[in-house]
C-alpha cells in the first residue's frame, strides 16, 4: 500500500504538461524539501557577519553541533560533516513533512530510502578507495590470510551490500508505520469522537512521530558515519 496513492496538496502539479504521469508523487515532495532547504541555507548565509545575528548564531550552533557529532564517530572527521550533516537534516525534514496535513513523508516510500542508502554505499566505497587505494580496498575484501580470499571476498561483498539494505528498510518501515498510524486515527476520528476523547490520542501520536523522526534521522546518520569510519580504519568512540 502506497501512502501517495491518496494524493496530496501537490497532486495538482500533474496537470502541468511537462510533468510525466509516471513520476511518483513522492518525488515532488522530495524536490520541494530540497528547494526549501536550499533557499533557507542561502538566506541564512548570504550576509554572514563577524558579530552574528540570531539566525547566524542558530546556524553556527547547528553546524558546530553536527561537526562535533561526526568527529565523535570519525576522528578528524570534519571533512565528512557536510555529507553526514546533510543526511541528518534532509532525512529529519522528510520525516516530519508527513505530519503536515495534506503532505507526505518522502521517507515513507521505499524508493527514497533506497536512494539514500545507495548514496551511503557508494560514499563509503569512494572514501575507502581514496584513503587506501584500489589495491588496499580490494585487500580488505580479500581478508587475511590471502589463501581464504575465494571464500572471504563474497562474504565481505554481501556484508557491504547488507549495510545499505538494513538502512533503507529500517528508515522506510518506521516512517511508513507512523504515517499509517496517524492516518488511521484520522480516518476513524468520527468513531473516536463517539467513544473517547480523540485529542489526547492524536497529540500523543504526533509527539511519538516527531520523536521517531528525530531518532530515525539520527540512526541513519550515525550508521553512515560508522560505516565510513570502518572503511577508513578510523572508528571513534
How far from 1 is each of 26, 109, 208, CA to CA, in Å?
Answer: 14, 10, 22
SS3 label, residue 112: helix
List, for residues 198-235, the tens digit of each pLDDT value: 556 667 777 888 888 899 999 999 999 999 988 887 55
Q: Write down the pLDDT at residue 39.
A: 92
**Which H or E run includes 77?**
none
DSSP annotation of 15 reads: G
Please check the confidence at residue 48 and state whether its pLDDT lies above 80: no
User: Are residues 182 and 205 in contact, defined by beta-carbon separation less than 8 angstroms?
Assistant: yes
Residue written as grid cell 542561502? 42
List, for residues 113-171, the tens digit of each pLDDT value: 999 999 999 999 999 898 888 888 777 777 666 666 677 778 778 888 888 888 888 88
151: number of Cβ within 10 Å: 11
How is residue 211 written as a grid cell? 520523536
How is residue 161 written as a grid cell? 551490500
SS3 label, residue 82: helix
User: Are residues 117 and 221 in contact, defined by beta-carbon separation less than 8 angstroms?
Assistant: no
Three-class HEC string of 125-146: HHHHHHHHHHHHHHHHHHCCCH
Q: Which residues, at least 6 apart from 210, have a Cβ–Cβ distance to it below 8 Å?
A: 96, 99
Residues 170, 160, 227, CA angle at the centre, nearest 5°? Answer: 70
List, for residues 87-115, the tens digit of each pLDDT value: 999 999 999 988 887 788 899 888 899 99
Residue written as grid cell 480523540? 198
Mean pLDDT of 68-89: 90
Amino acid at each position: 500500500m502506497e501512502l501517495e496513492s491518496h494524493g496530496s496538496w501537490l497532486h495538482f502539479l500533474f496537470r502541468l504538461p511537462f510533468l510525466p504521469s509516471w513520476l511518483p508523487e513522492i518525488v515532488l515532495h522530495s524536490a520541494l524539501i530540497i528547494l526549501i532547504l536550499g533557499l533557507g541555507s542561502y538566506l541564512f548565509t548570504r550576509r554572514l557577519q563577524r558579530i552574528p545575528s540570531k539566525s547566524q548564531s542558530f546556524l553556527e550552533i547547528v553546524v558546530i553541533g553536527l561537526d562535533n557529532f561526526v568527529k565523535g564517530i570519525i576522528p578528524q572527521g570534519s571533512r565528512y560533516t557536510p555529507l553526514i550533516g546533510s543526511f541528518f537534516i534532509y532525512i529529519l525534514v522528510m520525516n516530519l513533512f508527513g505530519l503536515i496535513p495534506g503532505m507526505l513523508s518522502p521517507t515513507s516510500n521505499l524508493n527514497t530510502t533506497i536512494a539514500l542508502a545507495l548514496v551511503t554505499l557508494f560514499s563509503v566505497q569512494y572514501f575507502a578507495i581514496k584513503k587506501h587505494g584500489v589495491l588496499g580496498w580490494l585487500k580488505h575484501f580479500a581478508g587475511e590470510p590471502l589463501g581464504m580470499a575465494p571464500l572471504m571476498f563474497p562474504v565481505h561483498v554481501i556484508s557491504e551490500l547488507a549495510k545499505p539494505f538494513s538502512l533503507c528498510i529500517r528508515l522506510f518501515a518506521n516512517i511508513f508505520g507512523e504515517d499509517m498510524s496517524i492516518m488511521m486515527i484520522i480516518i476513524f476520528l468520527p468513531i473516536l469522537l463517539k467513544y473517547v476523547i480523540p485529542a489526547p490520542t492524536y497529540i500523543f501520536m504526533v509527539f511519538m512521530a516527531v520523536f521517531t523522526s528525530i531518532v530515525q534521522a539520527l540512526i541513519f546518520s550515525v550508521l553512515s558515519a560508522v560505516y565510513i569510519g570502518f572503511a577508513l580504519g578510523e572508528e571513534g568512540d
